[in-house]
Structure 1
Amino acid sequence: MKYITRTLLAAVALSFAAMPMAQAQQLYGHDRKPGHSYTVKKKVVTTRHTWRKGERYSNWKGRPAVRDYHRHGLHRPARGQQWVKVDNSYLLMSVATGLILGVAAAR
């Protein structure tokens, strides 16, 4: 009788452990038909920075310079300056100091 009780309790415990795994397969689509696509869109929280003249932007060298500035409606940078696109803005940077000399909204 003692062994039957232990076996029965082990079977019940095993069924409780297996139930969430079976539900997870249905939840995440592991039993999908071939050719069916399933995408999960994640909500991305981004923080926007309001750029101002005179601020220092430390990571501007890691971004490529905007070479076709006329195409984006920007004026030609003077010697020692370059345009850099950051988020949804174009920043006119001083190459020597890293100071922001101008800001333009990207279109």
Structure 2
Amino acid sequence: MFKKILMALATTTLVASPIVTAQAQAQSHVAQHRQVETRKVIKQKPNGRTVVKKQTVVRKNAPRYNSHRWAKGQRFDRRQASNYRVISNYRDYRLSAPPRGQQWVRSGNDAVLIAITSGLIGAVVGNAIR
């Protein structure tokens, strides 16, 4: 009886530990990209009065990735793409029409052809966008 209780306790601990770890990482990730600032705003009025106000500014900083080298076969993650946008006018950039189920997206100055459902990269055109 004691062994069964001990085994059940051990398995629940092993099962619950990844969930707790994932929650802690998500919370630290959110807290890492948030910045709170308190500023003093000083204004001079035309009548000579000085007005001092306190402003609280909350900035949500997105993680910045300066340059990411994409390669065919990788999984595309839009959070790692700088200046991510879907390219709907691919002819303006001299790109071929995307096959069915794929689309051109912008990552920095590169055009990346990705599969819509899986996110796998089919082609990369470097410096296609200027």
TM-score computed with the length of structure 1 as normaliser: 0.51
Task: Answer yes or no: is the 8 Å Cα contact 2:113–2:122 preserved in 1.
Answer: yes
Of Structure 1 and Structure 2, which has the larger fraction of its residues in strand? 2
Three-state SS of the structure 2 residue aligned to 1:53 is coil
CA distance in 1, matches of 2:102, 2:65: 28
Which aligned segments of 4 or more residues in structure 1 are displaced greater than 2 angstroms?
none
1:76 aligns with 2:77: no
1:79 counterpart SS class = coil
**For the residues of structure 2 that align with 1:95 and 1:50, how far apart are their CA atoms?**
20
CA distance change for structure 1 residues 47 and 64 in 2, over 3 Å: closer, same or farther? closer
TM-score by length of 2: 0.43
Q: Which runs of 5+ in 1 are unaligned?
A: 1-44
Q: Distance in 2 between matches of 1:93 and 1:82?
A: 6
2:74 to 47, 52, 55: 55
How many residues get paired?
A: 62
Unaligned runs of 5+ in 2: 1-63
State the alpha-carbon separation in 2 of the partners of residues 72 and 46 from structure 1: 24
Alignment of 1:77-96 (within 5 A): 77-96=98-117
> RMSD across aligned C-alpha pairs, in angstroms?
2.3
CA distance in structure 2 between the partners assigned to 1:73 and 1:49 by the alignment: 22
Identical residues among aligned pairs (%): 34
Between 1 and 2, higher relative CO (CA 8 Å, sep ≥ 6) is seen in: 1
Question: Alpha carbons of 1:64 and 1:50: their partners in 2 closer, same or farther (altered >3 Å)?
Answer: closer
